[in-house]
Amino acid sequence: MFKTISDPADCEVHPVIRFLNAKKVKPAEIQRQLVEIYGENVMTDGMVRKWVRQFNDGRTNVHDEARSGRPSVVNDGLVAKVNEKIRENRRFTIRILFDEFPQLSKTALHEIVTNRLNYRKLCSR
C-alpha cells in the first residue's frame, strides 16, 4: 500500500495531472490515482477532466490564474481601531460598530470581532 499525503496544495496536484495526461492516462484513472495517494478530498472528477482538457488545449502553466475580486479592506490598523472602539464601550453591538465604520460590512465587522479579536458574548439580557 502507498503512503497517503494529506492536504496537498493545488500546485502539487496539477503537475501530476499534467504528467499522467502526457502518458495518455485517462482522466478517470488519473482521478482514481490522485484519490489513492492524496485522499478522498483531493479533487473532483470534473476538475480533473477540466485540467486534462486545458493541458490538451496547450496549457503549460500548472498554477491557477489570478482571479479578480473585491480586495479585502481589513488590515491590522483597522482591526486595532475596532478594538479601540470596543474597549471604549464594552456594551457594543455590531450595529454600533457599523455606524462607526461604514466602510466595512456587518459581516466583516463580525469576523473581525469574533475571529481576529476573539471576543465572545458573555451574557444576554
Chain centroid to CA 125: how far? 37
pLDDT value for 3: 79
Architecture of domain 10-57: Orthogonal Bundle (1.10)
Given a contact cutoff of 8 angstroms between Cβ atoms, the answer to whether 22 and 56 are in contact is no
The cell numbers describing 23, all together, are: 502518458
Angle at the Cα of 15 from the Cα atoms of 26 and 68, rounded to 5 degrees? 110
DSSP 8-state symbol, 74: -
pLDDT band at residue 84, thresholds of 50, 70 and 90? very high
Residue with cell 470581532: 113
pTM, rounded to two decimals: 0.55
pLDDT value for 32: 94
d(CA 24, CA 18): 10
pLDDT value for 19: 95
